[in-house]
Amino acid sequence: MAKATVNGVEVDVFKNAPPHLGLVFAAARQHGDKPFLVYEGETWTFTQAVDRLDALASLLVNTYGVKKGDRVAIAMRNYPEWVVSFGAILSIGAVSVSMNSWWTADEMDYALEDSGSTVMICDEQRYEAGAAAAARLGVKCLVVRETKPLPAGVDSWDKVLPMGAKHPGAQIGPDDDATILYTSG
């Protein structure tokens, strides 16, 4: 541990920690084909997860126009895509907005507007709950694991993720905003 001054306050910090979480995900690549995520009958290796992270980062920047400091909502149950989304958002210097998967449409509407999210990465159920708010606010939607056709202008993760795309890179500092968490208390 070491002491550091953050926003004028002296705090304890890990002296060997990377300056931002995006580097933690980048370092995961060294573990290659070892299991990284296991969900029901699926196993994603470190390489598969980081490749998806790079592809999503590219999609967010090059297709959706996400820039450093922009807010990107994640609204889904505990799917492997949640972790990849979180890592991709942070790795481009954007701010992850974690939305509770139990929220009603009104709660999702509030958080999307309050946070200023420009993109929502969500599962089908959360898309259905947040679709009206997203349309009203101009929030672009990327849906994972959908089981039925999506409306025009709403993207499917499996259909638009540019696999093989290089990570677009970003200048991120240790004091940059990383996440907004809405809590019940």
Look at residue 9 and tell me if it is in a domain: no
Q: Are 79 and 145 in contact (CB under 8 A)?
A: yes
Look at residue 11 and tell me if it is in a domain: no
Look at residue 41 and tell me if it is in a domain: yes
Residues with Cβ within 8 Å of 92's Cβ and at least 6 positions away in sequence, in order, are: 22, 57, 60, 61, 66, 68, 168, 170
Q: What is the rounded end-to-end Cα distance, in angstroms, of the chain?
A: 31
- Residue 122's nearest CA partner among 152, 98, 138 is 98
- Residue 156, beta-bridge partner list: 143
Phi first, then psi, for residue 93 (nearest 5°) are 80, 10
Look at residue 2 and tell me if it is in a domain: no
Look at residue 7 and tell me if it is in a domain: no
* Domain range enclosing 63: 19-181
Look at residue 6 and tell me if it is in a domain: no
Look at residue 12 and tell me if it is in a domain: no
Per-residue pLDDT of the chain (185 residues; tens, 9 = 90+): 999 888 899 999 888 888 888 788 888 989 999 999 999 999 999 999 999 999 999 999 999 999 999 999 999 999 999 999 999 999 999 999 999 999 999 999 999 999 999 999 999 999 999 999 999 999 999 999 999 999 999 999 999 999 999 999 999 988 899 999 987 66
Helix intervals (H) in the chain? 21-27, 46-62, 80-91, 105-115, 124-137, 157-160
- Measured N-to-C along each axis, helices 105-115 and 124-137 cross at an angle, to the nearest 10 degrees, of 50
- Looking at residue 174, its pLDDT comes to 83
**DSSP percent split of the chain into helix, strand, coil, nearest 5:** 35, 25, 40
Look at residue 105 and tell me if it is in a domain: yes
Query: What's the domain count of the chain?
Result: 1
Q: How far apart are CA 4 and CA 42, in angstroms?
A: 41
CATH code, domain with 63: 3.40.50.980
Instruction: Classify strands 42-45 and 35-39 as parallel, antiparallel or unpaired.
Output: antiparallel
